[in-house]
Amino acid sequence: MPLALLVLSLSAFAIGTTEFVIMGLLPDVAHDLSVSLPAAGWLISAYALAVAFGAPVMAMITARWRRRTALLSLMVIFVLGNLFCAIAANYGLLVLARVVTALCHGAFFGIGSVTAAGLVEPNRRARAVALMFTGLTLANVLGVPLGTALGQAAGWRTPFWAVVALGLLSFAGLRRALPVRSDETPADLRRELRGLRSTGVWLALGTTVCFSAAMFALFTYIAPLLLQVTGVTPRGVSWTLFAMGVGLTIGNALGGRLADWNLSKALSLVLIALCATSLALHWTAPWLWPSEANLFLWAVAAFAAVPALQVNVMRFGAAAPNLISTLNIGAFNLGNAFGAWVGGLVLSANLGLQATPLAAAALALLGVFASSLSGRLARDLPAQPDCATS
Higher pLDDT, 318 or 323: 323
Higher pLDDT, 259 or 293: 293
Q: Which pLDDT does position 315 carry in this prediction? A: 78
Mean per-residue pLDDT over the chain, rounded: 84
Q: Which pLDDT does position 319 carry in this prediction? A: 63
**Model confidence at 388: pLDDT above 50:** no
**Cα 122 → chain centroid:** 23
Contact 170, 285 (CB under 8 A): no
Higher pLDDT, 381 or 336: 336
CATH number of 3-179: 1.20.1250.20, 1.10.630.10, 2.40.50.1020, 3.30.70.260? Answer: 1.20.1250.20
- Do the two domains 3-179 and 190-378 of this chain adopt the same fold? yes
Q: For the chain, what are the domain ranges?
A: 3-179, 190-378
- CA distance to 100, 254, 306, 311, 383, per residue, from 122 (Å): 35, 17, 18, 11, 11
Contact 198, 39 (CB under 8 A): no
- CA distance to 106, 388, 389, per residue, from 190 (Å): 20, 19, 18
218 in helix, strand or coil?
helix
pLDDT confidence band for 286 (50 / 70 / 90): very high
Domain 190-378 has CATH 1.20.1250.20: yes
Phi, psi of 180 (to 5 degrees): -90, 105
Q: How many CB atoms lie within 10 A of CB 201?
A: 24
Q: What Rg, from alpha-carbon coordinates, does the chain have?
A: 20
**Model confidence at 82: pLDDT above 60:** yes
Q: How many CB atoms lie within 10 A of CB 140?
A: 22
Nearest to 108 by CA among 76, 147, 137: 76
Beta-carbon-side half-sphere exposure of residue 253 (alpha carbons within 13 Å): 7
* 17-37 pLDDT, tens digit each: 998 788 767 778 888 998 886
* 195-245 pLDDT, tens digit each: 667 777 888 889 999 998 998 888 878 878 888 898 988 778 778 878 888
Among 197-211, 268-282, 303-317, which is the least confidently predicted range?
A: 303-317
Q: Which pLDDT does position 273 carry in this prediction? A: 94
Among 58-72, 181-195, 287-301, 318-332, which is the least confidently predicted range?
A: 181-195
CA distance 226 to 219: 11
Write the single-letter amino acid at 172: A
CA distance 365 to 210: 8
Q: Which pLDDT does position 387 carry in this prediction? A: 45
Q: Which pLDDT does position 389 carry in this prediction? A: 41
Beta-carbon-side half-sphere exposure of residue 137 (alpha carbons within 13 Å): 26
| Mean pLDDT, residues 150-167 taken together | 92
* H or E stretch at 38: helix 37-61
pLDDT confidence band for 274 (50 / 70 / 90): very high
Higher pLDDT, 119 or 284: 284
**Model confidence at 344: pLDDT above 70:** yes
